[in-house]
Amino acid sequence: MVDSEDIITNLATNFGTEGFGLDHTVFLQFSVGNNTDDGAQSNRIMLKAENIGIDTSRNVPQIPIPFSGTITGESTSLSIDMGIASKRISIQGIITDQYIKKNIGTSVVSVNLTAHEVAQLMHSAVDSSAFQQSQNFSRLFILYPSRVGDDYGYRAGLTSKTPQDECPLVPFDYKSRALDASPAQIGTFAGPTDGNDNYRGITGVVETFGTSITPGQPFISFNLTFTQSFVFTG
């Protein structure tokens, strides 16, 4: 079983400067990008995710073959695989007070927002477009423990019995390991040092973002849907 405190401890050592190290395993990044010189939280919103749903739907048109059942006694269809899939991630959790650090040009802003202010900031981001790079979200990051690397070998220092909470954290994406991958694949499967500089995350758009405010509560419940895509102007 994964110990969340150990995961956070391991993760926090990967990134950031004092007071602004990465302390969550799920977060959104603004289109302007992270400024690694100013800590891991720069231009990012950390998410306290309680549930994550990842759905990958393959779109393969089916054409029934006429008379196939007449000849063989078993009807069938012809599949036309055009290499199309839809990838959607849904997240539910809570928003609490959070330090937000924004790097905008030469300006650096670091403030402690209330949960309500964070929610408003996120609604504003979803309401924007890819042309507003300091306002719009363009990447989602979900970090998970991984034993096995790109070559299907155990990562350095790990074995089949290494507990999950001692495994390095790597960003979820849709890359295949080298033995499985197409020669035309862009990029490689997540490596154990990807966190030393910058996680690549999942590119796309936040399609929906909803919040539920309970009077008197210091936190706000949220749900969002993120769809993987390539945004030309983001």
83: left (phi over 0), alpha (psi -120 to 50) or beta: left
Q: What pLDDT digit, counting tens, does each position of 126-146 carry?
A: 999 888 888 899 999 998 888
Residue pointed to by tokens 């990134």: 15
- Identify the domain containing residue 193 by its residue range: 4-59+80-228
Residue 114 lies in a domain: yes
Using the predicted structure, report yes or no on whether residue 197 has a pLDDT greater than 70.
Answer: no
Using the predicted structure, report yes or no on whether residue 196 has a pLDDT greater than 90.
Answer: no
Using the predicted structure, report yes or no on whether residue 216 has a pLDDT greater than 50.
Answer: yes
C-alpha distances in angstroms, 101 versus 11, 41, 46, 53? Answer: 19, 6, 11, 28
Residue 86 lies in a domain: yes
Q: Are strands 137-145 and 26-30 parallel, antiparallel or unpaired?
A: antiparallel
Q: What pLDDT digit, counting tens, does each position of 98-128 carry?
A: 988 888 777 788 899 999 999 999 999 999 9
Residue 146 lies in a domain: yes
C-alpha distances in angstroms, 83 versus 17, 61, 188, 205, 221? Answer: 42, 11, 19, 21, 37
State mean pLDDT over 13-21. 39
pLDDT for the residue numbered 102? 85
Report residue 6 as tokens. 């150990």
Which of the two residues, 15 and 31, has the higher pLDDT score?
31
Residue 66 lies in a domain: no
Using the predicted structure, report yes or no on whether residue 234 has a pLDDT greater than 80.
Answer: no
Residue 72 lies in a domain: no
Residue 17 lies in a domain: yes
**Rg value, the chain, Cα:** 21
Which of the two residues, 135 and 40, has the higher pLDDT score?
135
Residue 30 lies in a domain: yes
Residue type, 61: P
- Tally of structural domains, the chain: 1
Residues 56 and 67: their CA atoms lie apart, in Å, by 33
pTM score, two decimals?
0.81
Centre a 10 Å sphere on the Cβ of residue 209 and count the other Cβ atoms it contains: 19
Q: What pLDDT digit, counting tens, does each position of 25-35 carry?
A: 899 999 888 76
pLDDT for the residue numbered 12? 41
Residue 233 lies in a domain: no
